[in-house]
A and B are shown apart, each in its own frame.
Chain A
Amino acid sequence: MAGMTTPWIAAEPLDAASFVELRRRAMFDYCKWDPQIGDACVIARSPLVIRRQAWGEVVDIAEALARETLAAERELAQRPGLHRSLGLPRAVRRALRRAADLGPPPDAARLIRFDFHFTTDGWRISEANADVPGGLNEASGLPVAIAPHYAWAAPVGDPAGAYAAALTARVSEGAAVALVHATAYSEDQQMLRFVASRLEASGLRAHLASPAHVRWRDGQAELDAAWWRGPLDLLVRFFPADWLAALPAATGWPYFFGGARTSSSNPATAVLVQSKRFPLVWDDLRTPLPVWRARLPETRDPRDAPWRSSEEWIVKPVLGRVGEGVGLRDCVAPRDMRRIDRAVRLWPRSWIAQRRFTIVPLELKGGRVFPCLGVYTLDGRVVGAYGRLARVPLVDERAADAAVLGA
């Protein structure tokens, strides 16, 4: 830690009245429909302010990671022999062979979010959200809402706006776009509703739909919904790739992986690098991954790491999200650790062990927090960030969403 300069600038929290207004704006202008999780308000009263020089460093790292990630995914898509090592379900592996045989769907705007942490060893990433990176509405909306109170800082980007612009650029005016998601989750629809509004403002016809509403005719996607039927020009997928296999066969879901003529963002082949077992195949890849190797903590099969006896290791589910199922002993109840232990024992290929890093906390007026900086890259270029402030060194659904500003 000696000699390391913190990347953060501690900002004063909003006063009570301003925070009430921020919360209201977040809900009604930026589709933040889940501001309360259990007893925790998950909108931060302070922005996460990063020094400009540090932001520049993060941008360089993230863009290098994005280049490596996309190159590795292209190679992995052609090497189905490595897919079992990634801990992917069998049906997904079968669908991925389709990508190898027929080619992945045409790419339309590759969006990835790398979760950065400033640690005692410098910048590290905990994961890459390459499949369905969320948080766009918070990442774009909260900085705009909070910025007037921090005139000395400015938003670092508008990822939702950049994403909508990139999608719009790939199709003609009036194009039909399906934003595909699990329709029962308001938490998912909130983000897509926000993106859809931007697409509609650009003259596109946006349909919020389930993947079960999509049909395929010779690789061309069509929407087959009670409210509209017709060919689609673009698919925006916010339905996890590993979930597609549970859909009825009539939906033609394997087309999300390969053989499609309709562009997709992100193509389901993203699951190849979404898997937390991705590091376990690095030595088998021709793609150089120097930045991944430098920034991701050492990762092993759980059978090859002393995670049960050493505090230096944690376990994570291969396709886990929102910090769920992460076996971090001092943050997880003993009962849950026992269940995790059992799950790892029974299904080791569905887990990884990762060497733990030590997040440098940030002292704010409301108390100590452990920041996570989610940096979005779009087609390899950084377009913004999404902050989360956790009270414990585990960023889960109770972490507060924070506007990211640079100064």
Chain B
Amino acid sequence: MSWMSAEDVFAAWTRQDVIWSDWAKPVAFIGTSLVPADADLPVPPALTLPLDPGSVVVVDLPGAESVGAGAALAERDYCPVPLFNGTSGPSPVIEVESIGRALVAAGERVRRAPVSSVAAPAFLLDSRRLDRTAIAPGKYDNRWVVLPQDFPSGALLASRGFRSTVLLRRDGLSIPPDLAHVLARWVEHGFCVRVIDVATGQTADNVTVPTPSRFKRAWYAAIALLGLHRSNVGGFGAAIPEQTDSSGGFG
């Protein structure tokens, strides 16, 4: 594949005739025009377990592996929806370049995949998004969390005939707290949740999603992020006691 602009790579990963592509986030594609086209794509996990085409898939694997899984799922008539929301920056806490390289490397493959207009979504996340390993003064803190507003609602998904979710994880079957806020909302609309550990093949069916702390708070988005400020290097803002807030924008 020849050099592509960030927009071309994004276009390869999205479908105009599939509603779920509207949720694709452009953040990870910014800067992909600088990525060499011959970048390697990590070997995707072996998704040998049958996946119900009527299931919504959430891929919560390490960055580039998630991209590889998304490409593999596209070839199984899922619509991959990149939701990577980590900003890039010099000396980042979370390395994101590999995600951009993977998106480029898999772009042509995804573009050619026969994704139908009624394909189920496969939301792609980076499971390293909250990794504290590399936090240090001076680094660019680009950790991030998923929020319910990053996804379609349970009501919308249910109206399209979906009633189950498959969560792909590595090295465990637990549900990360930020994702629990999303899945708990879907469960309220009758969704059942299955978790698959792609490393071991272990599966947990009909998982009970624990009601997360401060579930359904109107300003959960802000409060959810406050707990991360304990190792605050300014990435997530201040502790806000009783005030509400999201980001600093749009006052």
Contacts and interface: CB of A to CB of B under 8 A. Distances in A.
A311 interface: no
A246 B229 contact: yes
A189 B30 CA distance: 12
A336 B214 CA distance: 12
Given A39-B152, A226-B90, A227-B91, A321 B246 contact: yes
Interface in B73-96: 85-87, 89-91
B143 A184 contact: yes
Contacts of B141: 183-184, 210
Nearest to B229: A246
A135 interface: yes
Given A28-B7, A181-B248, A324-B219, A212 B242 contact: no
B16 interface: yes
Interface string B200-235: 000000000000000011110110010011001111
A210 B234 contact: yes
Interface stretch (B20-28, B50-58, B59-67, B111-119): B20-28
Given A131-B251, A240-B245, A324-B218, A33 B7 contact: no
B249 A33 contact: no
Contact of A239 (B6, B16, B234, B246): B234
Interface residues of A, number: 74
A74 interface: no
Contacts of A339: 217-218
A322 B235 CA distance: 19
A20 to B, nearest CB: 6
B162 interface: no
Interface string B142-183: 111000110111011000000000000000000000000000
Contact of B232 (A212, A226, A325): A212
B209 to A, nearest CB: 19
B234 A350 contact: no
Contacts of A41: 22
A243 B237 contact: yes
B229 to A, nearest CB: 6
Contact of A185 (B26, B140, B219, B247): B247
Interface string A239-253: 110111111100100
A240 B89 CA distance: 21
Interface size class of B (residues with CB under 8 A): 35 or more
Interface in A173-201: 180-189, 191
B250 A135 contact: yes
Interface stretch (A55-63, A153-161, A292-300, A312-320): A312-320
Given A242-B243, A243-B240, A184 B235 contact: yes
B237 A239 contact: yes
Contacts of A225: 90-91, 138-140
A397 interface: yes
A346 interface: yes
A264 to B, nearest CB: 15
B239 interface: yes
Contact of A238 (B148, B149, B153, B249): B249
A224 interface: yes
Please indicate which of the listed interface residues B6, B27, B222 has the most CB atoms of chain A within 10 Å of its own CB: B27
Contacts of B234: 180, 182-183, 210-213, 239, 247, 251
Interface in A333-349: 333, 335-336, 339, 343, 346-347
A190 B15 CA distance: 24
A113 interface: yes
Contacts of A245: 238
Nearest to B136: A226
A186 B244 contact: no
24 contacts: A27-B26, A28-B6, A28-B26, A33-B25, A34-B25, A38-B149, A127-B251, A134-B247, A183-B235, A184-B142, A208-B140, A211-B234, A226-B139, A227-B91, A238-B249, A239-B237, A243-B245, A251-B234, A317-B243, A319-B243, A324-B221, A324-B246, A325-B218, A346-B242
Interface of B: 6-7, 10, 16, 22-23, 25-27, 30, 85-87, 89-91, 136-144, 148-149, 151-153, 155-156, 216-219, 221-222, 225, 228-229, 232-251
Closest 6 CB pairs of A and B: A210-B234, A129-B251, A134-B249, A243-B238, A212-B234, A246-B238
Given A33-B27, A339-B218, 20 more contacts: A38-B152, A39-B155, A131-B248, A134-B250, A134-B251, A184-B235, A185-B87, A185-B237, A187-B246, A191-B249, A208-B89, A208-B140, A212-B137, A226-B90, A245-B238, A322-B250, A324-B218, A325-B243, A336-B218, A347-B242
